[in-house]
Structure 1
Amino acid sequence: MTSTLRRAGGFAVVGTLALAAPSLGTAAFAPFAAVALLAAFVIDDGPLFELFARPGDRKDGRLNGLAGFSLAATGLALLATVPRVAMPLTVFVAAVLILAYGNLGARLVDTRVDDEFLHAAGFVAVGLLAGTLGQVTVANMTGEPMVLARFIFIAALGALVAALLRSVLFERDDPLVMLSVGLALWGVDWLAGPITPAQTGVSLAMTVALGYAAFALGTASVAGMITGVLLLLIAVVFGGFGWAVVLASFFGIGALATKFRYDRKAERGVAEENEGARGTGNVLGNSAVSLLAVVGFATMETFGYTFGSNLFVVAFAGSVAAAMSDTLSSEIGGLFDNPRLITSLKRVPPGTDGAVTWQGELAGAVGSAFVAGSAYVLLPLPGTTAAVAVLVGGVIGMTIDSLLGATVEGAGLGNQAVNFLMTLGGALGAAVVWIPL
């Protein structure tokens, strides 16, 4: 057994202390606080030190990693026992166990194969199992309703958030990962409505299948794949299957458009980097606005504001239409000659930021129309006028992207920021067009 695997096992044992929370009540923080004190000020040598020490800990002569992990769990435990606004104990336990056992699952995979995708899969699978069992255990101890479908969904969401953060942060940042997962799951638990077994089963099957296909086909990196799957799950829990299908249509069609005649686009200097594999930044740049919109929709539904709900549905569809329109415009338009700069209509070399072709503009308009039609069928859009607004919003977003590319991209804004502003423009454009209609 390697030292990293033993260390992960030790952290998993410490994380299991969270299961004592229902019995300890307001003292749920005490075991973790005690471990943090021992790690920071007492244990500086011997078998326990060797078990938990990370490379940097040996240099400092102190178990900083274990202390940070335990302090993060202490903070979540305190939040779980604050009167009136207390985080559910199931969420607290899930957040701690997902990280502790997710790391163990990843290390188990590492001992057998060196593969980034399988590493992430091991983290998510073991973290999901541990988070689910932890919630079930707490429900049994406290007499809370046993809502297994909800527990699985919460654990899956937490495991994906943790895996994503672990893929972009360092091991020493585990306290930040744990706190982020706990707060994210707390928000989801508060906003999400009832989650049925069918919703859990179908959504997990759909997201796993699409995520694996994206990675296997090389259309997304591991982090990009996790991000996309996470966004689909959030769309399901806050909106419904229709929302996830609309978002997935962009991921799928956009990925295929990126791969379409990739070698030819590479020769012309207009191809996406990394052989077209989208990373986390690209996925979030194109989908962050839609994520905010679906969460806004759930919030409006919770408080019963119909107009607000309708507005966020239109904004969601408009942001996806903009992302689809812009992707098809650039990926298809980049294959044609004689592009012109959108601000002056002068001919420029292929690949110039802000350059457009009429073929690309047509492809973008078709993409926007496709999303508008899909949204009309699958989303609770408030009438055909909303579908028209979504189509227009998509074209507006595509145009904003070209304008920003011709003026400030590269000098003041990166590609991800431009993508975010483009989808925001699509969402706001669709909403502004819809309101008077």
Structure 2
Amino acid sequence: MTSTVRRAGAFAAVGTLAFVVPAATRIQSPALATVAATAPFVLVAVLAMTVVDQGSALFELFARPGDYEDGKLYGLAAFALAAAGLALIAVQFGLPVWVFVGTVVIVAYGNLGQRLAARVRTDEVVASAGFVVSGFATGVAAQLGAARLQGATVAWPDALFLAASGALVAALLRSVLFERDDPLVMLSVGLLLWLFFELDPSVASQRVFVALGISAVLGYVAYALDTASLPGMLTGVLLSLLTIVLGGYGWFAMLITFFGLGGLSTKYRYEEKKDRGIAEENEGARGSGNVLANSIVALVAVLAWAASPSHTAVDPTLFLYAFAGAVAAAMTDTFSSEFGGLYDNPRLITTLQPVEPGTDGGVTWQGVVAGLVGSGIIAGIAAVTIGTVGSVGAAVILVCGFVGMTVDSLLGATVEGTVVGNQGVNALATLAAALTGVAVAVGLALV
């Protein structure tokens, strides 16, 4: 059986066929251009399934463990067909060719970088870092090279932003999926980068470099303090990158405050929380599901902000309050549960009857106060870093945090565990807070 590094190198070589597509787009006939762009990958898939026999050198080079059962190179065929599908979208439906090439290269060469890093040190974080660094570097070069082959131009900041986003998304997906799911990873990254391209954000070189630096530091700190699992760390780094580039430094200040203080509050008196049965699992290291549940509404708000008003015809200020409200709610809920859970005599929010510590929907007055402090921190950061917020806007964000905390407790007391889980409750609470921010901002004519 071949080594994982050699196999990754072989798949990277197949991924390099993506550079045929820029040349194919120069063909005048759309039909011929489509055939020229997709044929190399389709041919690889056909050969993998019909010609390459088990026991041959090529089979041994490309075979993944699951391929030996039927003696077919299913992994290679799926990888090639996913690339062919993206090539078809690029030629016929408007996916930028350099984004297509960058996507294939990020996945293919990122995998090679991951395998090489794993040889140096058998640590999943180091291996994922190898994927991100290799995917990012080769992704930037691939986009610039593909654009030149096509006779087009792509701005440096755009190439940097798309390559970094693609590498992080791919690494995140690979951390929660299996190696055989690379075709799904490739398709997901390609479509997501197409969305980012269509948003057409005004990406500045300095902001991209700052975002990359801060995101790298954030990832290392999360790893060193063990406040997030690998998927959670990658999710947080990706959200930070998108928030800085698409939103701004004020937006990022709110988000990183939640990540930082929220993570530390989880670690606060952890052993005591563990004895009381209210501690987070995995020694308090939050996974991607937890991070996304608390941040998905904020992420959508950032993307909507970038798309406004050109794509949505909506005043972008509304999405600022949606973002700030969602982050305030996440911070409020985290503080209220992590600090309030340390006190006795919680009461169920719906009946005010005493319940055991850790009961869903149980609240303490200390937890409510802690939650309001958390919301006030986010509101204060928004007022200081974003000039359009001011004292009235900060008050709106404070209210959003309180609403989110209340909705979280109400859902916990009524439907959590039967209709939705904890992560679903968190997401709904941040959504309620975001909608509150939008509604109050409209009512007070802040937009």
| TM-score of the two chains, using structure 1 as the length reference | 0.96
Matched, 1:34 2:43: yes
Moved more, 66-75 or 209-218: 209-218
Q: Is contact 2:345-2:356 (8 Å) kept?
A: yes
The alpha-carbon deviation at position 74 of structure 1 amounts to 0.2
1:219 corresponding residue in structure 2:
227
Q: Is contact 1:192-1:238 (8 Å) kept?
A: no
Q: Is contact 2:321-2:434 (8 Å) kept?
A: yes
- CA displacement, residues 204-237 of structure 1 (integer Å, 9 cap, x when unaligned): 1111101110111010001100000111111122
Q: What is the DSSP-based 3-state SS (H/G/I as helix, E as strand, rest coil) of the residue aligned with 2:308? A: helix
Matched, 1:63 2:73: yes
Q: What is the DSSP-based 3-state SS (H/G/I as helix, E as strand, rest coil) of the residue aligned with 2:309? A: helix
Pairing 1:3-402 to 2, within 5 Å after superposition:
3-25=3-25, 26=33, 27-45=36-54, 46-82=56-92, 85-303=93-311, 305=313, 307-379=314-386, 381=388, 384-402=391-409
Q: Is contact 1:192-1:237 (8 Å) kept?
A: no
Aligned amino acid, residue 403 of structure 1: L
Q: Is contact 1:39-1:63 (8 Å) kept?
A: yes
Over the residues paired in the alignment, what is the CA RMSD in angstroms?
1.5
Q: Is contact 1:219-1:277 (8 Å) kept?
A: yes
Question: Structure 1 residues 51 and 380 mapped into 2: Cα distance closer, same or farther (>3 Å)?
Answer: farther
Identity in percent: 56
Q: What is the DSSP-based 3-state SS (H/G/I as helix, E as strand, rest coil) of the residue aligned with 1:351? A: coil
CA distance in 1, matches of 2:281, 2:399: 30
The alpha-carbon deviation at position 403 of structure 1 amounts to 0.8
Aligned amino acid, residue 16 of structure 1: T
CA distance in 2, matches of 1:276, 1:331: 11
Aligned amino acid, residue 28 of structure 1: A
CA distance in 1, matches of 2:52, 2:352: 70
CA distance in 1, matches of 2:381, 2:114: 38
CA distance in 2, matches of 1:295, 1:421: 19
Aligned length: 434
Question: Structure 1 residues 101 and 320 mapped into 2: Cα distance closer, same or farther (>3 Å)?
Answer: same
The alpha-carbon deviation at position 380 of structure 1 amounts to 6.0
The alpha-carbon deviation at position 43 of structure 1 amounts to 1.4
- CA displacement, residues 387-415 of structure 1 (integer Å, 9 cap, x when unaligned): 22211111000011111111111122111
CA distance in 2, matches of 1:2, 1:249: 46
CA distance in 1, matches of 2:15, 2:311: 36
CA distance in 2, matches of 1:106, 1:380: 43
- The gaps in structure 1 that reach 5 residues or longer are none
Q: Which of 426, 430, 434 lines up with 1:427 in the alignment?
A: 434
| TM-score of the two chains, using structure 2 as the length reference | 0.94
Q: What is the DSSP-based 3-state SS (H/G/I as helix, E as strand, rest coil) of the residue aligned with 1:80? A: helix
Q: What is the DSSP-based 3-state SS (H/G/I as helix, E as strand, rest coil) of the residue aligned with 1:49? A: helix
- The gaps in structure 2 that reach 5 residues or longer are 26-32
CA distance in 2, matches of 1:405, 1:387: 27
Q: Is contact 1:372-1:390 (8 Å) kept?
A: yes
CA distance in 2, matches of 1:308, 1:66: 47
Matched, 1:408 2:415: yes
Aligned amino acid, residue 294 of structure 2: N
The alpha-carbon deviation at position 137 of structure 1 amounts to 0.9
CA distance in 2, matches of 1:237, 1:30: 37
CA distance in 2, matches of 1:334, 1:154: 42
- CA displacement, residues 235-285 of structure 1 (integer Å, 9 cap, x when unaligned): 122212221221111101101111111111112111111111000000000
